[in-house]
Chains A and B, each alone.
Chain A
Amino acid sequence: EDQVTQSPEALRLQEGESSSLNCSYTVSGLRGLFWYRQDPGKGPEFLFTLYSAGEEKEKERLKATLTKKESFLHITAPKPEDSATYLCAVQAGGGGSNYKLTFGKGTLLTVNP
């Protein structure tokens, strides 16, 4: 069974204080690893897709990296508007159900001014 574990569950940072969120996964053949941002009362907003170990993607203050067992979302010099829940999800490549996403519980990030 595919599993995704995110840590920490909650993270509080001061504005400008860089940090990383972790996503550990077990999946039968990774087709893709996805990062989403979710604001309160909203649906998940797509950020990145990573396909293979060693891959990195960047967007503004966010950089996502991928190894064979985990992914990191690095946040550089965060601002209060980066406060949200960050969700990690995997899509398995083996077998028939290679379209559905298996999500972790998310990391609630709070950035204080």
Chain B
Amino acid sequence: GAGVSQSPRYKVAKRGQDVALRCDPISGHVSLFWYQQALGQGPEFLTYFQNEAQLDKSGLPSDRFFAERPEGSVSTLKIQRTQQEDSAVYLCASSLLGVGNQPQHFGDGTRLSIL
């Protein structure tokens, strides 16, 4: 597709349930990022992939968060045993190359609400 696609756009889950969020990056983009955006805040870095390799997961809030990109294209962010503080918009971004200062192009995000 022309841009980064994320699904679902909205997800409501009960506390304790597991959720999976999907990201389809721009075709051919090497780098893929996940960010978390709380209401009224800027996005905060969660994790970074270069092709299928997860090179940085330092921003993941806890071991309940897990991300994968097994074939170097589509990525999934999984949250286990969700808690209310996990409610946020989860943004995926991709960039063409695997080096810095390339612009990152964002999808429209998944808005996650934990009841």
CA distance A106 to B31 in the complex (A): 24
Q: Is the pair B109, A100 in contact by a Cβ cutoff of 8 Å?
A: no
A99 to B31, CA, bound (A): 9
Q: Count chain A residues whose beta carbon lies closer than 8 angstroms to a beta carbon of B.
A: 27
B window 51-92: CB within 8 A of A: 56, 58-59, 91
Does chain A have a CB within 8 A of B103?
A: yes
Q: Does B7 have its Cβ within 8 Å of any Cβ on chain A?
A: no
Which of A11-19, A37-45, A71-79 lies at the binding interface?
Answer: A37-45
Residue with the highest number of chain B CB atoms closer than 10 Å, among A4, A36, A43 = A43
Q: Are B48 and A44 in contact (CB under 8 A)?
A: no
| Chain A contacts for B40, CB-based, 8 A | 105
Whether a CB of chain B sits under 8 angstroms from the CB of A103 is yes
- List the B side residues contacting A32 at CB < 8 Å: 100-101
User: B100 to A43, Cβ gap below 8 A?
Assistant: no
Given contact pairs A42-B108, A46-B105, A99 touches B48 in the complex (Cβ within 8 A): yes
B residues 96-115 near A (Cβ < 8 Å) are 99-101, 103-109
| Residue among B4, B41, B42, B45 having the largest count of chain A Cβ atoms under 10 Å | B42
Number of interface residues of B (CB under 8 A): 26
Docked pose: A89 CA to B35 CA in angstroms: 13
Judge whether B43 is part of the interface by a CB distance below 8 angstroms: yes
The complex places the Cα of A98 from the Cα of B102 at a distance, in Å, of: 11
Contact A87 B42 (CB under 8 A): yes
A51 touches B101 (CB 8 A): yes
Distance in angstroms between the alpha carbons of A71 and B45 in the assembled complex? 21
Q: Residue A25 at the B interface, CB < 8 A?
A: no
Contacts of B42 in A (CB 8 A): 4, 87, 89, 103-106
Chain A nearest Cβ from B106, distance in angstroms:
4
Closest chain A CB from B100 CB (angstroms): 4
Identify the B interface with A (CB < 8 A).
4, 31, 33, 35, 40-45, 48, 56, 58-59, 91, 93, 99-101, 103-109
Q: Beyond A100-B45, A101-B43, list 8 extra A-B contacts (CB 8 Å).
A: A32-B101, A41-B108, A42-B109, A44-B91, A97-B58, A98-B100, A99-B56, A99-B99
